[in-house]
Structure 1
């Protein structure tokens, strides 16, 4: 299975998601999107494939969202996508693309929806101590 994660190593949710993918025995393609943002077209496709609107895919917390005037409801999706590509910290993370679908993995256990359930055979606990999978690899949350 091919898995790509648009990752920010400074983000706990992104780290937990990456760890869950690896716990499934999959070594994903890791794209540090702050260094190498996706193209505008790829970002638009991922957002649509994840079932999100462009506004739902924008990160507000810890970004220049307000300063850039992005709360303006008259801005088009095209304008918002331009802002996200120009200032990639505005891209909410982590976005994960697999053969089973695309998701914005917030919380990190959302990634379980697009990974094979039979790939998990043991417990998984997030960085903060929250258990996600039981000893048999079954989803707890």
Structure 2
């Protein structure tokens, strides 16, 4: 299955991930995380497959995260409410998100990316 990369061109970590994939000739389909964010359903699927706590899907460095008081919402909101919040604005998502439909990588993790160089796409 082809990889899907949700990224933002101004994000340094996103550019690093994209460059790594290009240099290693790993095929992927890029999506601008703000212009074409993953759907709420896709976010739920990625969350369930990732094995991560939902808080790791939030970009804590954004102004919007701080203004909306999301740090406190993480403690009191349901999973459904948090997924709805993530789906409402691509800038709230930690970037980049790379998935093959089974595995999900958030951020730049070279050791995880290495596994994709051995796959036959």
After superposition, residues 1-141 of structure 1 pair within 5 angstroms as 1-72=1-72, 73-98=75-100, 101-104=103-106, 106-117=107-118
TM-score after normalising by structure 1: 0.73
Name the CA shift for 1:100/1:77 in 2 (closer, same or farther; >3 Å). Answer: closer
8 A contact 2:86–2:93 mirrored in 1? yes
RMSD: 2.1
Contact preservation (8 Å) 2:97, 2:105: yes
Give aligned pairs, total: 118
Aligned equivalents of 2:115, 2:83: Cα separation in 1: 25
State the shift of 1:29 in Å: 0.4
Shift of 1:108: 4.3
- Greater radius of gyration (CA): 1
- Do the aligned residues in 2 keep the contact of 1:58 with 1:91 (CA within 8 Å)? yes
Gaps of 5+ in 1: 120-141
Structure 2: gaps spanning 5 or more residues: none
Higher helix share: 2
If asked which structure has higher relative contact order (CA below 8 Å, sep 6+), I would say 2
Q: TM-score, normalised by structure 2?
A: 0.84
Show CA shifts across 1:94-136 (max 9, x none).
Answer: 11012672211x23425425413489xxxxxxxxxxxxxxxxx
